[in-house]
Each structure stands twice: as C-alpha cells, then as structure tokens.
Chain A
Amino acid sequence: MSPDGNQGSGLGAFTGTSVKRVEDHRLLVGEGRYVADVVPDGCLHAAFVRSPFPHARITGIDTADAKRLPGVVTVVTGAEIEALTNPILPFLALPGLYTPLYHCLSSERVRFVGDPVAIVVASSRAIAEDAVELVDVTYEPLPGIGTLDAALDTASEPIWPKAKGNLLYDHTNDHGDVDAVFADADHVFTETFRCPRQSNQPMETRGILVEFSADGEITVRAATQAPHMLRWQLAAYARKESAAQAVKAFATNTERRTAFVDAAKSFFAERGEALQASDNTAMQTQMKTDPRTALQMMRTGAQLLGRDDYPHVTADDIGGGFGAKGSVAREEIAVAAVAFALGRSVSWIEDRMENLMDGGQAREEEMTLSIACDADGTIRGLDVDLVLDQGAYPGNPIGAPITVRIMEVMQPGAYRFEAFRQRSRIVTTNKGKYVAYRGPWANETWARERMVNVVARRLGISQTEIRRKNMYGDEDFPATMLTGPSLDVTCSVRKTLERAEELADLPGLDALRADAAARGKRLGIGFASYHEAAPGPPDYWESVNPGTSALLDQPATASVDTDGKIKIWTSQMPHGQSHETTYAQLAADQLGVGIDDIELVYGHTSRAPFDLLGTGGSRGGPVGGGAVRKVGRGLRAAVVAKAADMLEANVDDISIVDGNIHVAGVPARGLGYADLAARVVADGETVEGKDGTYAFNVEDTYTSAGDGGWSVATHVCWVEVDIETGLVDIPRYLVVEDCGPIINPAIVDGQARGGVAQGIGAVLYERAAYDDDANLQASTYMDYLIPTATEVPRIEVEHMETLSPGENDHRGVGEGGMIGAPAAITNAIEDALDVTVNEQYLPPTRILELAGVIEPD
C-alpha cells in the first residue's frame, strides 16, 4: 500500500479520481532536478553580449579586453560563430510569407533590444558577466520600428532588407459569399480590438548545459518542452560541416543509410496521404525570396543524414514553459556550438531580464471585426482583418505562421455564420520574438467574444441570449465549420453556456449591482465561450495547414522488465502537467496495479520515443494519453495471454487485481508481474526494446485520425470596478468546462485555474511594453507584473463530461483557461462601465479613462 493510498484494485479504479501527485515526492522536498541544478566539475559558464538598441548596424566589435580577463576562456562574436554554425531554416512556413535566414548570434545588424551579438565563456557566471561588460560593440542606430502602423508603413526602414518592407505576409480567404451576406443583413457592426505584447514568463528561465563526460560523450541537458526537436536542431545548426563532407559521410555509412531509407519508407507509408496534401508553395516562396535557403536546406539536410551520433538531449524537471520552451533558443545553439568547439562542459542559465527581452513574447495582435446580423439578433456574417506583430525574428519552430492559420480556422467559433472572410497580415518589428503562449490563437476567441457582446449591446439583447440563439447545438450535429473542421457532440459549447447560466444566478444580478453601487463600485458580468482542438476532429489540421497532422502523432511504449517492473515510455515532456501521475493512472487501471508500480520514462532522447513537438497544444491527455492507453491495452493483452498459458486458462477468464494475475475467482493461485517476467525469461521469449531486454515490450502510436473531438468551456467573470482608483476586483469567477471524461479532477482544476490566472494577468497587469521606437520598457518584475495571491480570486470549476465517439475520450485542458479568461474579464468590465472596450490590457489608468474619470492620454 502506498502512503497515498494509491493502490489499484482493478480496471478503472484510478482514472477519474484526484490521485495525489507522484512528482511531489521529489519536488516538495527540494530534490527536483532542474537544469540549473546540475553543474559538472570544471563546467564553464556562458553569458551573452546583447544589443541595447532596438535597431542598429554593428560597425565594430572589440573583444580583446574581455578575453584578457582572468577566468575568461573564449569570446565568440556573431561573425565568428558563422564558422561554427548553420543558419536557422524556415519551419511551418506559409505560401507568400517571407522568413529570413539568420544565425544564432547577430553580426551585421541588431534587430531588437537584447539581440545577442557575442557569447562569453568563463570559469564562473560572475566572471562571464564581468567580461560581457568589457566587450566593446560600436553601433550605428537605425530607426526602430515599434508599432504596427510603423511596420505597415511602406516607407519604414526594412528590418529584413530581402523582405522589401516590414509586411511579411498578407493573405485573404473567403469562406462563403461574404459580400452577399453583408449586403443582405439588417445591420453591420464594426470594432477594432487591440492586444499588446504579453510574455509566457515561466518561473524557471531558459537554460542549457552541454556536458562532456570523462570519455568525451556529450549530453545536452535543457529546459525544453521538446527534447527531440532540440536534438535535431542542435545537430543541424550547432555544427557546421561542408556539404561534401556531409554527403561523403552519408554515402560511406551503410548502416546509417539503410536505417534512414527504412525509416523514410515507413514514415511515408504511414503518412503519405497527409504529406501529399501538404502545400509546397510555402517552401517555394522561401527559396524565391532568398536563394541561399535552398542551398542551406540541402547542406543542413546532408549534414543531418551524414551522422548518427548527434548528442542526446535530456531533461528532468522543468519549471514551466507555457509554450516558450517549445522554442529552440538561438542562445542554445550558440552555447552548444561553442561547447562542441571547446570540447568542454558549458552551462547557460538565463537571467530574468534576458527572459523578458528574449525568452518569448506573444499575442500582439490588432483585429478589426465586422459582424453582419439581422434585427432579431441572428448573426450571419463575419469579416476579420488581423495584423500580427511577430517581432524581429521568427519563432522557431512555432510562431506567427501557424498561429494565424489556427486563428483563422477557429475565428467563427461555435456560431452558425453563413459567411466568413479573414485577411491575415504578419509584420516584423524591432521587438522580442513572438512564440506560442498557452492557446497561441486565443485572440480569435477574445475578439469574437468581445464582438458578440458589442452586437448584443447594440441590439439590446442579453449576452447569453445572443450566444444561445446563434450557437450550434446537438440538433445541428454533425456540422462543419465554415473553415473546414467538422463538429460533433463534443462541441458542447452551448451546453456549457446553459449550465453556466444556471450556476451564475442571473436573477440575483440586480441585487449584486445595487450592493456594489452602495459601496461606490460598479459591478459587471461577462460571458465568453470557445471550443478548441484538443485534439480536434481528424479534419482539423488539414484545415489549418495541410500536412501538419503528420507531425502531431505521438508514440508510446509499455514494457515489463525481466524483473517485473512496469514502465510507460512517452514522448511527452512534462513541465508541470503531472504526467507521471495521470499516465500512471491510465496505465495502472489497464494493468491492474498500483500507481507506484508504474514508472514513467520521458525526457532523455535515447529513451523517450521520437516525436518532434513533445508537450504542447493541450495534447497530453488526448494524444500522449491516447498512446499510453493504446500501449497499456496492448501490454495487458500480452500479459493476459502469457498468464492464460501458464495458468492453463482461457484469456477471457484472467483477471488482474492489485498486481495479482489470476483466474477469476481463484486469486490464491495468482501470479505477480515478476513471476510472469521470470517465466518469459525462462521460456526464452524476451524481446529487445529501447535501452534493454524486456519480458514484454509493446510500442504503438496514437494518431488523431478517426477520433478526437473538441474541448470546450464557457467562462463567467464578475468584476467590481472602483472608479476612484481604477482597480478591478473579481468577486466571482466561474468556468464550466467539458474536456470529456477526466483523468484527474484536481489536476484539471489546476490547469483551468492556472490558465485563468494568466488571463487575469493579461487584462489587468501584464504588458511586455515597448515605446514607439521599440525600446523595451519592461525588463524586470517591477515593470512586468505577474498577478499574485492577492489578485487572483478563487475560481469555481464545473465539469461536464460529454463522451466522444472516438477511441480516446480524454480531451485536452492545458490551454483553455487562458483562452476564455481575457474575453470574460473584458466583457465584464465593458458591462460594468457601459462603454465599448477595445483593448485587452486595462490597467487602472485605462479603466479611469474608459469610465470618463480622467482624460485619455
């Protein structure tokens, strides 16, 4: 019996219960192992020289003084690192999009405050930071592009000269006859919504350790959401071989060549259809705008194929990521390149100022929405003009391009629009890079749910009535969104709205308003609803970006060691989501054992099954968890078959309870997993798997083709606005969510509440602020305000658990809190102040301006 009572008693005992976290046993006693906690003997430390200017030419760089400082091992400039590294290539690009080729350090031009121009490696971090101060860089400032208007101005200084301007992408799609619907409707309402830059801000900054063992073996330890992606990118970019060398290496390495051909064959056999659908015009665009792209692709590809001894990447505990650590950092490539060149261990642990400059920013979008509707409140047409500011450098690998595609596909929400048009533009500015941040596309929900409320106010109907009237419901399914994805019963948005209305006690609202008014405050209520693809129906990714779904499958393995220990192997990379607990719940239920009998293997790329994207996109439950269930089922079948053989019984009569594998009704004659494993060994039936020999080893891959479904919620926020101080209090917050059957309610609640807290931060506190010339204004936690325990209220979470027709019913819940919250909060503030709210960021001064207490700036 485990100290937590986490002992199994058969199928289904754990799934659906708030099993206490396995992870806590190390994390709560200070024995977690984060990247900064590992410092091998003789390890060197890196620090970066960064641009203080938003935009400038580098006319000189002098490292002599820095190199002379005792303890400094090397200083490598942007120009020098080009001899050690390959430029970073476009990934997940769009047709017509300009994506630059760029190196991990900048050499001729800097493009944002914090742009790294040199790396210093020294015997301690303090000495490395001292030496950073001694590197003398001469800059010739260029005009900084700090606003969307400046970026859209064709006369502005191009940040990437080959792009011939700062507008990198401009594309319009019509879904249905938009002009006809707009001409026919009774009303057209239009508003522009602006969201400033936010930042993911995990409490642990980024970090990497390149470790050389005594015999020269290299292991890269990093705070990464995607270890395999980092491993591939370091193999591609952190070393530089000539194309001839690389091709020769590939040609002479028969084993490597055969393995590659076999792997490619099976990859294409499994995913041929999806890949055929992929649109190659995106790559053609890249190559046309910069012919070096094609050359670099071939060279890097040959280099990747030529070797099979890339350093492995590993990660143990990670202090949050929220999407930012799904990026491969330029700094990681620089640290690895220099460590490889030195042949010595090097660690880089980012500080918070660096993280606020270059650790990832998100969500700076301006969206003009027009809704065509009839006088009775039927909404009919939607026209959206989106401009997204991706900052100076593209996100790698996930950034603006995939985000604008998801934003378009999800923009109509669960409403029955007749026609929809979206123009999407991506601009570049002199700001930190745009990365995925928890529900990267969330501003489609924010802008749509704001606009739905604007329409309701103008038509004089309630915000709940307009939603109920226009949302898809069970009677409509199966249906298809205008943008392509199909909708089934799992798109239960309207049900969550109706449940939220019941719980919200709307008849009592007038009394609440009067009570607040008596205290000199204005009370408002805001609703917001959304559905998200977690994992989404099988046709979802083909609507977003054809071919992408091939990247999104996740493999898993279930094995039993020769001594009976059960292991589940996942390609997910936990960084706070409690995978060790939830996957153990899923597996323990299938295998009839306790939580503590399952070991989850993850992180190290020599052991974690291959998957480029790791953890992200609310895929842990549906896709990673789907794979665990699949291999758990497979392992159970294998175990039962062997046990039936040993016990001379029919497989249908075998039962497993508390790890006792027995013929139903005769537990006294049962076998343990160790007994079974010993028999497998004795019978010579062991199998080879990753990292060793196993009694049983079942590998499989979960694909979302054939099932899936939507994860949905309605959020309700009550605010009390103090129009003397401009402060906004949240006396009540309600989430009614439906992510299907829940694996662990406490963990789902934690995900929902954490997401809402980030949404509260986005609206009331957080802004990655730049001035109009792109000078960074928020480089410490005194300027970038993360909400604390005094600002975040208790959040009620109500669960609905709609079953899906699919194979794996657990749907994703990681991002939803952040998707719904900004809309619900801003809708509530609009309701309280009775004015139209056009911004997502509403600090006290802006509240007072909206309330008419002070004059706008």
Chain B
Amino acid sequence: MSDTMNETHVALGGDTTISCTVNGQAVSVEVPVRTSLSDMLRSALELTGTHLGCEHGVCGACTIVLDGAAVRSCLMLAVQADGTEIRTIEGLATDGTWHPIQQAMHDHHGFQCAFCSPGFMMTAVAMLEDDPNRTEAEIREELGGNLCRCTGYESIIDGVLGAIAEMRDGDGGVA
C-alpha cells in the first residue's frame, strides 16, 4: 500500500483499476475484474469490519453505505464501485468519538456476537440520514433485510430508537 497526494493505491495483481473514496480517503485499487466489492474492501483495503455472512445478498452483514444508499457489498462487483463514495463501519466514528448509532447500540446492549453489527449499523445510518423520523414499525421494516441470530432484534431496535432520540434532542433514550 502506498500513499501519495492523499490517495491510497493498492495493487492486488489485478487487471482493473478502481478509483473511489472510502471513508473520506481517495483510493485506487488494482484487482482482478471479477472481484466483489466486499472482497476488495476486506482484502485490498484491509477493512475487515465489513463481514460476509451469506455472500448471496440475504443476510446483510456486508452492508455498506455507497453514495448515500445502503448496499450489499457482496452483491456488487468492485468495478461497479468505480467513482463512488463509500462508507464502512470503520468510518463511522470521527476522531475517536462514536457515531450516535454506535453509542446507542452500546447503551442498549444492541449486539451479542456482533458479527452482523456493521451491516445493521450501516443500514441504520443510511436510513436515518435519509429520514430520521422513523417509527418502530418503519425501523423494523428497513432493518428487515439484515439478519441477526443472537438478539431477537429488540435491543437493536431500541438502539436505533435511542440513536434517533440522541440525534433529535441529545437524549439517548436510556431510561
């Protein structure tokens, strides 16, 4: 990996160069053309916080925010991400301060094994940036594309509700 002019360049012996912005950093990556976006993020950029649960687009563990939308990185080819702006779980906190969704998940015991947590939080971030005024039913619908096998979802929903309260009026919603 080499950094020049604020651009990180990674060569993985590939035949295609992809340029995009990842967590605010301009990157160009050489990968084999068949590389999935999730593999590019995990292998070439070493952003292993994006997890692979099913690799067929159902579990949502690999969800990232791409140009503002929640996207399954396992279903996208890296070449399709050329020119896009990507955010992953590693980019959520700023200067060591957690994003409200991270703080709220912590406050509400949101996750257990937490393998699914990056996908849930990135889905939630895209949803709340789109429209933070969400009812519990809407949150459940929006997060219905992410699987968690540990929690039964209640603590995750409470975490999202807590983040909404925090973002709205600085009240994390913890009783």
Contacts and interface: CB of A to CB of B under 8 A. Distances in A.
A524 to B, nearest CB: 21
Nearest to A575: B113
Interface stretch (B78-86, B127-135, B146-154, B162-170): B146-154
B145 interface: yes
Contact of B111 (A27, A33, A39): A27
Interface in B96-124: 98, 102, 105-107, 109-118, 121
Nearest to A21: B109
Interface secondary structure of A, over-half rule = loop
B58 A782 contact: yes
Interface in A721-739: none
Interface in A306-328: 317-320, 322
Contacts of B157: 789
B43 A39 contact: yes
A126 B31 CA distance: 13
Contacts of B118: 30
A29 B109 contact: no
A29 B152 contact: no
Contacts of B116: 203, 319
B117 to A, nearest CB: 6
A754 B56 contact: no
A126 B78 CA distance: 15
A320 B151 contact: no
B47 interface: yes
B150 A754 contact: yes
Interface string A434-464: 0000000000000000000000000000000
A34 B115 CA distance: 8
A750 interface: yes
| Interface residues on chain A, size class | 35 or more
Nearest to B34: A126
Contacts, number: 172
B148 A203 contact: yes
Contact of A24 (B52, B106, B139, B156): B106
Interface string A755-766: 111100000000
A477 interface: no
A757 B157 CA distance: 14
A21 B51 contact: no
B151 A750 contact: yes
A30 B147 contact: no
B141 A21 contact: no
A192 B81 CA distance: 55
Contacts of B107: 20
B53 interface: yes
A320 B147 CA distance: 13
A32 interface: yes
Contact of B140 (A204, A577, A790): A790
A28 B117 contact: yes
Nearest to B36: A126
Contacts of B47: 30
B92 interface: yes
A790 B141 CA distance: 6
A422 B42 CA distance: 52
Contacts of B143: 788-789
Contacts of B68: none
A454 B140 CA distance: 36
B93 A29 contact: yes
A465 interface: no
Contacts of A37: 42, 48
A28 B114 contact: yes
A28 B61 contact: no
A467 to B, nearest CB: 25
Contacts of B88: 30
Most buried by B among A39, A318, A792: A792
A36 B53 CA distance: 11
Nearest to A753: B152
Contact of A781 (B58, B112, B150): B58
B128 to A, nearest CB: 15
Given A126-B32, A203-B61, A754 B106 contact: no
Contact of A204 (B102, B109, B113): B113
B102 A780 contact: no
B114 A32 contact: yes
Contact of A786 (B98, B121, B147): B147
Given A28-B102, A754-B151, A781-B56, A204 B51 contact: yes
B90 interface: yes
Interface string A9-28: 00000000010110110011
A795 interface: yes
Nearest to B147: A786
Contacts of A758: 149
Contact of B112 (A201, A577, A790): A577
Given A21-B109, A27-B111, A30-B118, A786 B149 contact: yes
Contact of A780 (B48, B58, B117, B145): B58
A320 B53 CA distance: 11
B112 A36 contact: no
A205 B98 CA distance: 28
B72 to A, nearest CB: 12
A753 B155 contact: yes
A202 B48 CA distance: 18
Interface string B31-45: 010100000001100
B52 A320 contact: no
A79 interface: no
11 contacts: A32-B49, A36-B42, A203-B147, A317-B113, A319-B51, A319-B114, A322-B149, A753-B155, A788-B144, A788-B146, A792-B154
